[in-house]
Amino acid sequence: MKKWWTIYRDTSFMLKMSIGFIAGIIIGLIVGPSIAVIEPLGTIFLNLLQLIVVPIILLTLIGALNNIRPSSLGKIGLKIFVYYILTTAIATFVGLVIASWISPGINLSLPDESVSVPDQPSITDVILNIFPSNIFQAFIDSNILAIVFVALVIGFILSYMAESEDTLTAERGDMVFKLVGALEDVTFRFLNGVLQYAPIGILALIATTVGEQSFSTLGALGKLIIAVYGSVFVQILFVYASLLLLFHIKPFQFLKKIHLPISTAFFTQSSTGTLPITLKSADIPEINESVGRFTLPIGATVNMDGAAIRLGASVVFAANIIGLDLSFTTLLGIVVTATLISIGTAGVPGAGIVALSVVLTQFDLPMEAVALVAGIDVILGMAATACNVTGDMVGAAIVSQSENKKKNVQAK
């Protein structure tokens, strides 16, 4: 038994993930809907990832601020948020253009039943939600924005304490940072154990999805799937690649180095759930450690280029169903709205349905279209989440390169 465990443990993670994915498809097609009996195995995997999301975000953000001088935090934050807004707007535009070309909703009819969509909180509620009245409740609710806020505040305070001229204050700041580093090490060791279970969880998730939906469902909405996957392809291989080249980073080599978080995001459909693996994979020359640990947790929450692509394509899909031609003004409004909505979309499975309902309501498009999109939400979510995580890594890389360039100029 120990021999088999050693072989399994030492086998390439990507090979194990690929085997799990392929086996899941085959088993799902053979068994059909009754394969749902193994769904708990996939849920366990997602739960384990979600279990360490909160400590990962809290500890890595606090730890990151230990390696960044307080004077440079504002500049890094400004750079990354400009990047997020710019790439999300471009992603929405790409999704709209490609979907308009493919026309995914032609010859489809609205379903008789409607989908129950959770209420979308107001902008005021979203802002207030960032400032928790009870930090422990924020942890229980996995309120990521609130946790990011608390982590940044604690990190800022400790960073200033560590640089204090008062010896006792500086020592206390350093002591807390060392404790955070130790807890961070424990968390990543726990993550290594979760990754050993990942192929089993992936097999269960994929088998359940294929078994319940089958290829007949995929065929009926194939054009929308093509539109979203095609848009993600353009976003990664043209938009992101161009930005990487602009900062003298070789795109294909970079994408090869970050294939693990991309594939994990594709399989799990969770940007925040993939965050521990994203942070671990950021240990590459193109990404400065402190910049990566500062920007990646924020990106997992607010940078949703894939969600923006899915929104843009789904709006065109809904308009096609009712035979509505979208004007240039409407398309521009969709870009702005989808950009803002996707930035506020939580990086977890199923959140795209909520965001889509908001955009459809905003532009008086049929809400019943949500029911059609919900049928393939899992398939669309795979590509969208992979795009989200790729965008996070690219953002961390170009901000790191800009900071390195500035340091080199100052050194001269």
Angle of the 289-302 helix axis to the 70-102 helix axis, nearest 10:
40
2 assigned to some structural domain: no
355 assigned to some structural domain: yes
1 assigned to some structural domain: no
Angle of the 289-302 helix axis to the 271-281 helix axis, nearest 10:
170
Mean pLDDT along residues 93-114: 76
Residues 354-382: pLDDT tens digits? 667 767 776 777 766 766 676 677 788 88
* Tokens read off for 334: 């969709």
- Return the ∠ at Cα 279 (arms to 273 and 280), rounded to 5°: 105
What lies within 8 Å, CB to CB, of 102 at 6+ separation is 223, 226, 227, 230
93 assigned to some structural domain: yes
Look up residue 121 and give its DSSP letter. Answer: P
Higher pLDDT, 342 or 250: 250
221 assigned to some structural domain: yes
Asked if 14 contacts 257 with a C-beta cutoff of 8 angstroms, the reply is no
pLDDT band of residue 409 (cuts 50, 70, 90) is very low
Domain count of the fold of the chain: 1
* Tokens read off for 350: 């199923």
List phi, psi (to 5°) of 249.
-115, 130
How many angstroms from the chain centroid is the CA of residue 205? Answer: 18
Give the residue from 206, 412, 182, 393 showing the smallest Cα distance to 303: 393
What torsion, rounded to 10 degrees, do the Cα atoms 361, 367, 369, 372 define?
120
pLDDT band of residue 309 (cuts 50, 70, 90) is very high
Cα distance between residue 56 and residue 43, in whole Å? 20
Cα distance between residue 386 and residue 271, in whole Å? 8
* Tokens read off for 405: 């360039």
Asked if 200 contacts 45 with a C-beta cutoff of 8 angstroms, the reply is yes
SS3 322: coil
Mean pLDDT along residues 95-102: 91
Amino acid found at 145: L
pLDDT at residue 331 in the model: 77
3 assigned to some structural domain: no
pLDDT at residue 118 in the model: 45
Higher pLDDT, 208 or 66: 208
Which residue segment(s) compose the domain that 348 sits in? 9-411
Q: Is the pLDDT of residue 113 over 50?
A: no
Cα distance between residue 46 and residue 276, in whole Å? 12
Residues 115-171: pLDDT tens digits? 444 454 566 776 777 788 888 888 887 777 788 788 888 888 888 888 888 889 889
134 assigned to some structural domain: yes
Burial level of 216, CB count in 10 A (0-12/13-18/19+)? exposed
Say which CATH number the domain at 395 has.
1.10.3860.10
The overall average pLDDT reported for the chain is 80
Give the residue from 240, 197, 227, 247 showing the smallest Cα distance to 317: 227
Q: Is the pLDDT of residue 297 over 60?
A: yes
